[in-house]
Amino acid sequence: MNLQPTQASLTELAGALASKTISSVELTTLFLDRCEKLNPLLNAFITLDRTATLAEARAADARLASGETGPLLGIPLAYKDIFCMQGWLTTCGSKMLANFVSPYDAHVVEQFKKAGMVTLGKCNMDEFAMGSSTENSFYGPARNPWDTRRVAGGSSGGSAVAIAARLAPAAVGTDTGGSIRQPAALCGLTGIKPTYGVVSRYGMIAYASSLDQGGPLAKSAQDCALLLNAMAGFDARDSTSLARPAEDYCRNLEQPLTGIRIGLPKEFFAQGMSDDVRAAVAAALAEYRKLGAQTVEISLPNSGLSVPAYYVIAPAEASSNLSRFDGVRYGYRAPDYTDLSDMYCKTRAQGFGAEVKRRILIGTYVLSHGYYDAYYLQAQKIRRLIADDFRAAFRQCDVIASPTTPGVAFEIGAKSDDPVQMYLSDIYTTSANLAGLPGISLPCGFGAGSMPVGLQLLGNYFDEARMLNLAHRYQQATDWHLRTPEGLSI
């Protein structure tokens, strides 16, 4: 078998491990060596620990030697640094948690450890997942391997960079308003946000609890399906975790697309997207029609309100969730203070970055007396209208297609002084989080500067298998997901 581990799918890697073509230690060492060589340039990882990682790889080899098999056993995996992991730094990209070593594993981490995956490292991210470019990280921005002058997207930007640069075969991220799908699009990857409640949030440091959801990023839809099989499942420790029968997200991958109705929201295609993104998405839709699907125009009349509603609800929840970071129990504490109140003020002033402070202030404002009804309550009403729009749309179509982002990756610093323009990067993605729907982004071409373009598919509740089917059949007919950045000795 002529295996190229950095280019291989998870299924190919599992086959090589099972046949003893390569050991988990050998495979993991290969990726660790690439990380050590390229991470100083790309800033994809916050924490790497070769000793701990190789110990897990040896344990996986022992399981393989005993005759145990599994679709993910022995394969390295990178985690967004928002997932608590016992014995590892869990910083959330913030100075506030720069010294926090988690005493326990998140549910997602537990699931992947059961599956035998090897922890490769903890990936860079926007501080507390607040951002669309990873520029808000205390550790500096992750750099897009297609052009290191450009952003990788956010907030799961480090996870996306790790896969795109072939520093890891797969990674885990979180999506609050597009934070898996958007970096997947900007880095030429596949990333899926499951239905809210399918993946446990236990041990996933909260940004906006009613919106956050964990999900996988990988090179292909098939790889994402395998990862989602391991991630999904009920967890009694998370009150929003859904008790549903286990399902195999790979089960429909090979189904033909004949008769599938793809809805095209007229609001998404009217204005706002760049011409290069429009052309790539149009070509992808034409390919779907060749595969037997049909496209129908639909309307999501309240979709234009999704970004303003999101940027009221998410900061409101963040202002509550982040109140726990006060310097008392764990994390950063200001070195000099006069009394308890002064310690609170200085710790939070010094420990949080500018964007986190901005969102805490916005959130506190919209929840305050006299403004709750005018802002927060109205945003929640809009959220219901957006969900109702989707329900009506899915009576006319099976999935909804759109661009993932309005343009390709922009240069680092280009939008730093204009938060509103940065927030509009999420214009096509936030509505799925507000409604709790699943969404996937897959590469569908290249735009300006030879940068990747992403196609977004949104499904009805618990319709991940159908979305993955559409993504997989498209990837069988095209090779966009197999392209790799040049110049990184891949």
Residue 232 belongs to a domain: yes
Structure confidence at residue 93 as a pLDDT band (50, 70, 90): very high
Query: What are φ and ψ of residue 100, in 5° steps?
Result: -90, 115
Helices (H), 271-353: 275-290, 306-321, 340-351
Q: In whole angstroms, what is the distance from residue 67 CA to residue 459 CA? A: 38
Tokens standing for 361? 């202030």
Output the pLDDT for position 489.
59
**What is the average pLDDT across 181-200?**
98
Residue 133 belongs to a domain: yes
Pairing mode, strands 190-193 and 213-218:
antiparallel
Residue 308 belongs to a domain: no
SS3 446: strand
Residue 81 belongs to a domain: yes
Output the pLDDT for position 418.
85
Is the confidence at residue 1, as pLDDT, over 90?
A: no
Output the pLDDT for position 282.
98
Structure confidence at residue 428 as a pLDDT band (50, 70, 90): very high
Output the pLDDT for position 417.
84
Alpha carbon of 193 to those of 231, 300, 348, 462: distances in Å?
12, 20, 31, 11
Residues annotated as part of the active site = 80, 155, 179
Domain range enclosing 41: 10-257
- Spell out the residues 6+ positions from residue 51 whose beta carbon is closer than 8 angstroms to its own: none
Q: In whole angstroms, what is the distance from residue 8 CA to residue 16 CA? A: 10
Tokens standing for 156? 């799961």
- Provide the CATH number for the domain around residue 59: 3.90.1300.10
Structure confidence at residue 471 as a pLDDT band (50, 70, 90): very high
Output the pLDDT for position 421.
83
Residue 90 belongs to a domain: yes
Question: For residues 147 and 165, is the Cβ–Cβ distance under 8 A?
Answer: no
pTM of the model: 0.97
Question: For residues 306 and 272, is the Cβ–Cβ distance under 8 A?
Answer: no
Tokens standing for 4? 């190229």
Residue 406 belongs to a domain: no
Q: In whole angstroms, what is the distance from residue 400 CA to residue 439 CA? A: 9
Residue 124 belongs to a domain: yes
pLDDT in tens, 100-123: 999 999 999 999 999 999 999 999
Output the pLDDT for position 422.
87
How many domains does the chain fold into? 1
Per the listing, tokens 């934070």 go with 179
Pairing mode, strands 76-80 and 170-175:
parallel
Output the pLDDT for position 218.
98
Tell me 486's DSSP state.
Answer: S
User: What secondary structure does DSSP assign to 356-422, as a single string?
Assistant: HHHHHHHHHHHHSTTTIIIIIHHHHHHHHHHHHHHHHHTTT-SEEEEESSSSSPPBTTTTTT-HHHH
Residue 450: is the preceding peptide bond cis (ω within 30°)? no
How many other C-beta atoms can be found within 10 angstroms of the C-beta atom of residue 490?
15
Is the confidence at residue 271, as pLDDT, over 80?
A: no
Is the confidence at residue 490, as pLDDT, over 80?
A: no
Q: In whole angstroms, what is the distance from residue 271 CA to residue 287 CA? A: 23
Q: Which of 350, 356, 316, 311 is nearest to 332 (CA)?
A: 350
pLDDT in tens, 25-75: 999 999 999 999 999 999 999 999 999 999 999 999 999 999 999 999 999
Helices (H), 214-305: 221-231, 275-290
What is the number of helices (H) and of strands (E) in the chain? 15, 11
pLDDT in tens, 205-225: 999 999 999 999 999 999 999
Q: Which of 174, 273, 265, 162 is nearest to 214 (CA)?
A: 174
Structure confidence at residue 270 as a pLDDT band (50, 70, 90): confident
Residue 92 belongs to a domain: yes
Output the pLDDT for position 3.
82
Tokens standing for 169? 């075969």
Is the confidence at residue 148, as pLDDT, over 60?
A: yes
Q: In whole angstroms, what is the distance from residue 310 CA to residue 229 CA? A: 29
